[in-house]
Structure 1
Amino acid sequence: MMTPEFCLLFGLVVFCGALGLADSVSCFECSNLQDKRCGTTFDFAPGSTEAKEKYLKKCEGELTFCRKLTYEDDFQGKKTNGIVVSRSCWTSPGKEGFEPEVKECSEMFKGVACYCKGDLCNGSELVRASTAILFIGLLPLLCSLLGF
């Protein structure tokens, strides 16, 4: 039987290797102008297959994040009470060092722009558990399955 230290080291090596495989992020891409459920709140059931089938997009490129824009627009927003919400992929125009931890928002003219890094993070106001936390929680099971 292997020591707990070896098991932890093994888990860290596997986790660090998995980090290198993630080169893109998946975001929701929709607007409340096309679907009212894509408004200020994302009115799809958690884990909704309908939302994923209709609005999930794999974003490509370096410095790519998910974005949610909320702004006032009296012309376009007639059927949305003047508030337009748009969710999409966003690629930073070379602003090195810009990497939102969980969610970073900034005010813009007549609205707010929020950016986040992580699959489907622009679909909810809730903070989802990170991959690292999930992996650490599953580490004892992985070690026992591998006989460590």
Structure 2
Amino acid sequence: MKNFLTFTGIILLSLIGCSSSLECYECDGESCVSESLDQVKCQEGAVYCLKLQLDEEFTKSCAYDAPQNDEEGCKEFGTTKTCYCKGDFCNSSNHVSALFSTLLLLLLLHILH
């Protein structure tokens, strides 16, 4: 029982950071191609991260306007593709969230004990 309470406490502490401001990747054009994208803390009011593709040019940022129907996902209009997502750094296709990694590690440690 004591191990369960310790495990639950660690999980709850890891979730405290979830209530802070949204964080997104930010880049424009050529800077989106590099492996080291800028990480920014969005201003109050941003609920989504944005990934925009116009032809072969990319833009990533915080989104201060909600998507149509307030839904996550991508929409294409001609040569423009606009993607909205919720969650820290979700506007990168190859990013694993730190929270997910932490929870996975805690679960693995719990199973091994």
| TM-score, reference length from structure 2 | 0.67
Aligned to 2:54: 71
For 2:6 and 2:25, locate their aligned partners in 1 and report how far apart those are by CA, in whole Å: 34
- 5+ long unaligned stretches in structure 1: 73-82, 142-148
Q: Which has the higher helix share?
A: 2
What is the DSSP-based 3-state SS (H/G/I as helix, E as strand, rest coil) of the residue aligned with 2:45?
coil
Query: Within the alignment, does 1:131 sit opposite 2:99 as a pair?
Result: yes
Contact 2:45-2:64 at 8 Å conserved across structures: yes
With over 3 angstroms needed to count, the CA separation of the structure-2 counterparts of 1:29 and 1:58, relative to structure 1, is: farther
Query: Within the alignment, does 1:13 sit opposite 2:23 as a pair?
Result: no
For 2:44 and 2:96, locate their aligned partners in 1 and report how far apart those are by CA, in whole Å: 23
Contact 2:89-2:97 at 8 Å conserved across structures: no
For 1:121 and 1:60, locate their aligned partners in 2 and report how far apart those are by CA, in whole Å: 16
| TM-score, reference length from structure 1 | 0.55
Q: Which is higher, the Rg of structure 1 or of structure 2?
A: 1
- Aligned pairs for 1:25-36 within 5 A: 25-30=23-28, 32=29, 36=30
For 1:93 and 1:116, locate their aligned partners in 2 and report how far apart those are by CA, in whole Å: 10
Aligned to 1:88: 61
For 1:84 and 1:16, locate their aligned partners in 2 and report how far apart those are by CA, in whole Å: 35
Q: Which has the higher strand share?
A: 2
CA RMSD of aligned residues (A): 3.2
Q: Which amino acid aligns with 2:50?
A: R
For 1:107 and 1:8, locate their aligned partners in 2 and report how far apart those are by CA, in whole Å: 44
For 2:7 and 2:81, locate their aligned partners in 1 and report how far apart those are by CA, in whole Å: 42
Identity %: 21
CA deviations over 1:6-31 (Å, ceiling 9, x no partner): 112212332343322x223232132x
Contact 1:63-1:94 at 8 Å conserved across structures: no
